[in-house]
Amino acid sequence: GPKEQASDYANYFCSYASLYHQKQMLTDHRRMQAYYSAITDNAELFAGKRVLDVGTGSGILALWAAKAGASKVYAVEFTDMANHARRLVAKNGMEGVVEVIQCSVEDLKLDAKVDIIISEWMGYFLLRESMLDSLVRARDRWLVPGGLMFPSRCTMMWGLVNDEQDRLSKQQEYIRTMQDWYSFKGETKEFYGVDMTVLEAVYEEEQRGYYILSSFWAELDKGQVLGEPAVVQTFDMHTCTLEDVQGVDETNVSIPLEEDARVSGFAGWFTADFHGTEANPCPCPVTLSTGPENGYTHWGQQVFHLQVPHDVVGGGKVEGTIAVKRQKENVRLYDVHIKHKNVLPTGEDKSPLVSVKYAMP
Amino acid sequence: GPKEQASDYANYFCSYASLYHQKQMLTDHRRMQAYYSAITDNAELFAGKRVLDVGTGSGILALWAAKAGASKVYAVEFTDMANHARRLVAKNGMEGVVEVIQCSVEDLKLDAKVDIIISEWMGYFLLRESMLDSLVRARDRWLVPGGLMFPSRCTMMWGLVNDEQDRLSKQQEYIRTMQDWYSFKGETKEFYGVDMTVLEAVYEEEQRGYYILSSFWAELDKGQVLGEPAVVQTFDMHTCTLEDVQGVDETNVSIPLEEDARVSGFAGWFTADFHGTEANPCPCPVTLSTGPENGYTHWGQQVFHLQVPHDVVGGGKVEGTIAVKRQKENVRLYDVHIKHKNVLPTGEDKSPLVSVKYAMP
Ligand SMILES: Nc1ncnc2c1ncn2[C@@H]1O[C@H](CSCC[C@H](N)C(=O)O)[C@@H](O)[C@H]1O
Ligand SMILES: Nc1ncnc2c1ncn2[C@@H]1O[C@H](CSCC[C@H](N)C(=O)O)[C@@H](O)[C@H]1O
């Protein structure tokens, strides 16, 4: 309802209204390089075309599209950042081409459809923030048949990792917070005559949720990834439906390891391709990867720590499933349900199947 | 309207729904001691009385009121913390006396008025969070004539401070963030062909707002307070109106210093008295001070740094005004407008009058 939307918008858009936050994205050079190449190196696709930039923020992508030769760029932004984008566009001499429109893209009115949609909508582990919903709606409403999406395809990746130090320090913090609780309980009884025992389980659950059953942002080193990353799901931006982008149904993932290794957790990230379509491929295809093989991006990776690490025997594997579901209370956030077991080279289980639900905060 | 209320509630109540946050309050021993003494040492006032606890959280105050002999305690809490409070009450044997009611106190329905209202509604520098509005509404609707408020009176305090190190480090951070901007601007022009100059003033304003024109939480040492703290405003909880609690109109504050001193800023905090009324005074009056003279409370003090410190000459003073106004975008937050000058012992101005508006985040 409108009340839910109001509080969603208040929470979600708040950070994007600050230039500080926009600058964090604008100084993410892998992100910038990928979009810049995708647009400028494929300028011939933009020449004379009508373009829509969904969530223009500072206006950067719209400006590049205009410089690449677009005849018209509609740059849509919900927050007051739209005013800054408008001024940036003017000062960079593209007032005649880029039209900044401040509204939710869901409320956009154009006189005709567009040939290309550009957008940087991706969140942690691709889906977080659920801005993809807005993109799909904009595409279904405003892209001509056969039009192009930039990016054209996005893939959720999954890897085994060893970051045992971080895993242990999170466990330590959890233990410390529970020790605090025990002193608190003692003091409250002694000084204030109230027995807090009945709330202990709730507190423990809350803290476990925070330290143990949540994923964490990390900038992993490529040496921390064990074996080959697996594809969880691929979204074709030209065809994916609102239903497709709700999340990921339970999907099998099995990652074999050639050598003995301690697996302390999983990591999720994404790649974004700028390839055009089969009918209209990009002359210079570009891929943006936010994986550990590639150095810093502001997305980093989401790490899901195991409660007990798997000591995998060389030739064995970690096998299981992953599902990614929207949280009921906040559709922009996700839970990641992981089932996993340690399998020996013989095919026998080295561990029972463990099933854990993590929140991605 | 209902949309504004929905997003206000979503933002405001979120943290209070976590036991972690409630525990932070429950381990604030000055806070706990003050309320505990105010209720238990004045048990005779509670004996056989009907009590309302506005915002019961974990239920702690309601429990104490019951133990002090109240015949009935209505413990009202908006968040799901109400469930925990209910269980805590039961396990501590007060089910028959304390009734936990989950609702906004604005929507409360009782069969009759109450004799006493207890509440811990105070925010940073007293007014932050604006929960006092809810208390005043509850009092006007549910307190019997001549009934008692716990606390009975709250006072906003104001002091001169020297925390030059912190002031300088905030200024350094501001300088660093602007240096970052200049490199960013250079790189964006060089690598991506976009001139960001037009956004520089906006970025500077945003960062100045954050580092320079905001107050900060601090736990000041009593030695850092210069001269005698001044009273900004006193609220009598029995009589203050919704209009009174909107903020503080421009109020004169003049603080003389006996010795030469460098004033690097101002600090705001509050005291809360549990004194009852003239007709019905507390046998054991209690005062809670959150000032630097008293050691840690979770409220600490709000510090407002000067851009240029005042070197006050012994026998001189810092003179000016303070006004506290609600922010338009979020009525639970406040701006603090300070005018100040350095005055010599002769009465001549040592500095011009400076006028600055700080946000209290
Ligand atoms: N439904 C919607 N309608 C309009 N703008 C939206 C939107 N959902 C998200 N946004 C905006 O989309 C932007 C995503 S961040 C990307 C900003 C910019 N395109 C860049 O690449 O640097 C944010 O500024 C956010 O406010
Ligand atoms: N309008 C309102 N109606 C009901 N509860 C409210 C309220 N405004 C704030 N609250 C609740 O008031 C509490 C204030 S914090 C104090 C908690 C508790 N009385 C203690 O002293 O430890 C929070 O739990 C908050 O959720």
Locate B57 and state its tokens: 């959280």
Say if B4 is an interface residue toward chain A (CB within 8 Å). yes
Query: A352: distance to nearest CA of chain B, Å?
Result: 33
pLDDT, tens only, A276-289: 999 999 999 999 99
- The predicted pLDDT at position A38 comes to 98
pLDDT tens-digit profile of B55-74?
Answer: 999 999 999 999 999 999 99
The kind and range of the H/E element at A232 are strand A225-236
Minimum Cα–Cα distance from A91: chain B residue: B198
Tell which atom from ligand 1 comes closest to the C-alpha of A56. Answer: 19
What residues in B contact A64, CB-CB < 8 Å?
192-194
Phi, then psi, of B205 in degrees rounded to 5:
-65, -45
- What pLDDT is attached to residue A10? 82
pLDDT at B4 over 90: no
Fill in the DSSP letter of residue A210.
Answer: H
pLDDT bin (cut points 50, 70, 90) of residue A64 is: very high
d(Cα B12, Cα A11) in Å, to the nearest integer? Answer: 11
Is the per-residue pLDDT at B3 higher than 90?
A: no
For residues A162-187, give the mean pLDDT: 97
B184 CB within 8 Å of a chain A CB: yes
Catalytic site positions of B: 120, 129
Nearest Cα neighbor of A118 from A54, A28, A48 is A54
Helix H segments across chain B?
Answer: 2-14, 19-26, 29-40, 43-46, 60-67, 81-91, 132-142, 164-192, 200-211
DSSP A140-203: HHHEEEEEEEES-EEEEEEEEE--HHHHHHHHHHHHHHHHHHHHHHHHHHHHH----GGGHHHH
What mean pLDDT do residues B323-340 have? 96
A168 touches chain B (CB under 8 A): no
pLDDT value of position B182: 98
Query: Do the Cβ atoms of A7 and B4 come within 8 Å?
Result: no
By CA distance, what is B94's nearest residue in A? A194
Supply the residue whose CA is at minimum distance from atom 19 of ligand 2: B56
A6, A84, A197: residue with CB nearest B199: A84
Q: What is the pLDDT of residue B5?
A: 86
CA-to-CA dists, residue A277 to A4, A45, A239, A288, B256, angstroms: 37, 12, 11, 17, 75
Q: How far is CA B72 from CA A23, A99, B52, B121, in A?
A: 56, 64, 8, 21
Pocket of ligand 2 (CB under 6 A): B 13, 16, 25-26, 55-58, 60-61, 76-79, 81, 104-106, 120, 131, 134
Tens of pLDDT along B24-33?
Answer: 999 999 999 9
Residue A5: its pLDDT value, please? 86
Q: A6 at the B interface (CB within 8 A)? A: yes
Phi, psi of B125 (to 5 degrees): 50, 40
Task: Residue A84: list chain B partners with CB under 8 A.
Answer: 199, 202
**pLDDT at residue A165, rounded to an integer:** 96
pLDDT digits (tens, 9 = 90+) for A94-105: 999 999 999 999
**B184 vs A contacts (CB less than 8 Å):** 23, 26-27
CB-based contact, B176 to chain A, within 8 Å:
no
What are the structure tokens assigned to A158, written together?
């999954």
Residue whose C-alpha is closest to residue B269's, from B219, B312, B318, B224:
B219
Secondary-structure breakdown of chain B: helix, strand, coil percentages, each rounded to the nearest 5: 35, 35, 30
Q: What percent of chain B has pLDDT over 70?
A: 100
A20 in reach of chain B (CB within 8 A): yes
The CA-CA-CA angle for residues A18, B208, A12, to 5°, reads 20
For the segment B179-207, the average pLDDT, to the nearest whole number, is 98
The amino acid at residue A131 is M
| Separation CA B101–CA B76 (nearest Å) | 5
Structure confidence at residue A2 (pLDDT): 79
Contact A20 B67 (CB under 8 A): no
B contact residues 80-99, partner A, Cβ 8 Å cutoff? 84, 87-88, 90-92
Are B60 and A192 inside 8 Å of each other by CB? yes
Q: Does A347 touch chain B (CB under 8 A)?
A: no
Q: Grade residue A309 by pLDDT with cuts at 50, 70 and 90.
A: very high
Predicted confidence band at A4 (pLDDT cuts at 50, 70, 90)?
confident
Q: Ligand 2 centroid to B54 CA: how many Å?
A: 6
Length of chain B (residues):
361
Decide if A337 contacts A322 (C-beta within 8 A). Answer: yes
Helix (H) or strand (E) segment spanning residue B229: strand B225-236
Rounded CA gap, A126 and A65, in Å? 23
The answer to whether residues A341 and A306 touch, using CB atoms and an 8 Å cutoff, is: no
State residue A151's pLDDT score. Answer: 98
Q: How confident is the model at residue A320 (pLDDT cuts 50, 70, 90)?
A: very high
pLDDT of residue A353: 98
Nearest CA of chain A to the CA of B200: how many Å?
10
Candidates A63, A195, A206; nearest CB to B19: A206
User: What pLDDT band is residue B8 in, cutting at 50, 70 and 90?
Assistant: confident
Q: For residue range A226-276, list pLDDT tens digits in order.
A: 999 999 999 999 999 999 999 999 999 999 999 999 999 999 999 999 999
Mean pLDDT of B166-184: 97
Taking CA–CA distances from B330, the nearest residue in chain A reads: A10
Average pLDDT, chain B: 97
Q: What is the mean pLDDT of chain A?
A: 97
User: Nearest-CA residue of chain B relative to A33?
Assistant: B192
Residues 24-83 of A with CB under 8 A from B: 26-27, 29, 32-33, 36, 58, 60, 63-64, 67
Contacts of B75 (CB under 8 A, 6+ apart): B53, B56, B59, B62, B85, B89, B98, B99, B100, B101
Residues of A with active-site annotation: 120, 129
Tell me the pLDDT tens digit for each residue of B107-117.
999 999 999 99
Section B216-242 average pLDDT: 98
Residue A204 has pLDDT above 90, yes or no: yes
pLDDT given for residue B291 in this prediction: 98
Please determine, for residue A17, whether its predicted confidence score (pLDDT) is greater than 90.
yes
Secondary structure class of A17 (helix, strand, coil): helix
Chain A residue closest in CA terms to B198: A88
What is the distance in A from the centroid of ligand 1 to the CA of A16?
7
Q: Is A190 on the interface with B (CB under 8 A)?
A: no
Least distant ligand from the CA of B118:
2
